[in-house]
Amino acid sequence: MTRRIIGLVFLTVAGLCVAPPGAAQQLSASDPQPATIVGTVLDVNGGVVPGAMVVLNGPDSDDHHTFVTPDNGLFEFAGVHPGVAHHVTISAPGFADWTSNTITPTAGQYFMVTGIQLRLATVQVSVVAVTPEQLAAQQVRIEETQRVFGIIPNFYVTYEPNPAPLTSKLKFQLAFRALSDPVTLIGFALNSGIYQAADYPSYRGGMAGYGQRLGATFAGGYTNVLIGDALLPSLLHQDPRYFYQGKGTNRSRLLHAVSNAFITRGDNGRREINFSGIGGDLASGAIANAYYPTGERGGSLVVRSALIGIGGRMANGVVQEFVLHRHRTNERTAVASPNQH
C-alpha cells in the first residue's frame, strides 16, 4: 500500500515536469496586457505642432517617458501600465504648457488623448516708470561725458530732441562739473597768458602781474558760470544749455544759433528772453571791474564785458550748430564703437 502511494506521487511530479508549453502559458494568462496612449499636438487654430516635448508621467519615479512630435504632431506611448493614473504634459517653444486630466487606461486599451490645444505663451511686459527728474539726471550724465575731439568739454549742449528740464540741483552740478574740469582750468591759465602777453589789463609785469591776471580770469569765469548757468537759471527757471537743432535750412539753423545769446528755453519748454545768460555776463563784468586797475574801471568795462560774453555765446552757437557736432565724443559713441566696422 505504501509503495502504491509513493508511486502515485512520483507519477504526478513527473507529469508536471513534462507538461506541454501550453500549460505554462495558461498559468500566466492572468497578467494584464499593457495599454497604448496616443494623441496629436495641435494649437488653438487646429494646426499641428511639430517639435513639441510630450511627457508621460506615471505614479512611480521610474514610470517616466518622453516623446518629441514629428512634422505631423503625433505621439505614441506603448507598453503603458494599465490600471494606474498617468498624466500627459506637453511643452513647445512659444506656447504655454498643457497638462491632461488623469488618464487611467485599462488592459490592452488603445487610449487617444483628445482636446490638446496649445495656446500662445503669455508675454510678460514690465514697464519701468521714470520720473522727469530721473530722466534729466540720465541726460546730464551723458552730457558730462561730451567732449570735442575727445578733449575739450562740451557739457552745455544737448542733442536730445525733447530734453527733460533740469532741476536746480542738476544746474549747479553741471556748473561745478564744468568749472572743475582740468581742461577748463588750463583754459583759464592760457587766457591769462594771452592777457599777459598783451599787457592787459595794465598790471605789473612778471609773475606777479600774471598772478593778478590769473586771479581776475578765474573770478570772472567762475562768476559767469555760477551766476549765468546755475544761480539765475534756478531762480528764473531757465535752461542754460544750447539746444542743438541739426535739421531745417541753414538759415533757420543760423538764426537758432545766433539767437541763443538772447533767447533761451524755460523749464516749461517755452522760449524766453535769456535773462540768465545776460545777467551772468553783467555779473562777470562787475567782478572784472572790481579786480581791474583803478584807471581801467568804470561802467564801460561792465558793458564791454557783457557784450564780449554775448558775442561769445553767439559764436559758440554757430560753431555748435555747424561744426562741433561732427567731432564730439561721449559715452554713447564709446560704447557703440567696438561693434562698428
Same domain? 112 vs 230: no
Residues 276 and 228: their CA atoms lie apart, in Å, by: 5
| CATH code assigned at 43 | 2.60.40.1120
pLDDT at 160 over 60: yes
Provide the pLDDT for residue 6: 38
Same domain? 169 vs 250: yes
pLDDT at 260 over 90: yes
Per-residue pLDDT reduced to its tens digit, 52-93? 999 999 988 778 899 999 999 999 999 898 999 999 999 999
Mean pLDDT of the region 194-219: 88
Residues 38 and 112: their CA atoms lie apart, in Å, by: 5
Provide the pLDDT for residue 125: 65
1 within some domain? no
Note down the domain range covering 44: 33-118
Mean pLDDT of the region 251-255: 96
Same domain? 156 vs 108: no
Task: Give the end of a domain, one of 118, 151, 182.
Answer: 118
Domain tally, the chain: 2
Per-residue pLDDT reduced to its tens digit, 292-340? 888 888 888 888 888 998 999 999 999 999 998 888 776 444 333 333 3
pLDDT at 211 over 60: yes
Provide the pLDDT for residue 87: 93
Mean pLDDT of the region 236-247: 95
Instruction: Provide, for the chain, the percentages of residues in helix, strand and coil under a 3-state DSSP scheme, each rounded to the nearest 5.
Output: 50, 20, 35
Same domain? 238 vs 320: yes
Same domain? 87 vs 195: no
**What pTM did the predictor assign?**
0.60
126 within some domain? no
Provide the pLDDT for residue 330: 66
14 within some domain? no
Residues 330 and 180: their CA atoms lie apart, in Å, by: 18
Provide the pLDDT for residue 202: 85
Same domain? 179 vs 88: no
Same domain? 99 vs 148: no
pLDDT at 1 over 90: no
Same domain? 139 vs 112: no
Per-residue pLDDT reduced to its tens digit, 94-105? 999 999 999 999
pLDDT at 9 over 50: no
303 within some domain? yes
Task: Give the end of a domain, one of 118, 143, 171.
Answer: 118
Half-sphere exposure for 340 (CA within 13 Å, toward CB): 6
pLDDT at 27 over 80: no
Same domain? 208 vs 65: no
Same domain? 265 vs 168: yes
Per-residue pLDDT reduced to its tens digit, 33-52? 999 999 999 999 989 999 99
pLDDT band at 124 (very low <50, low <70, confident <90, very high): low
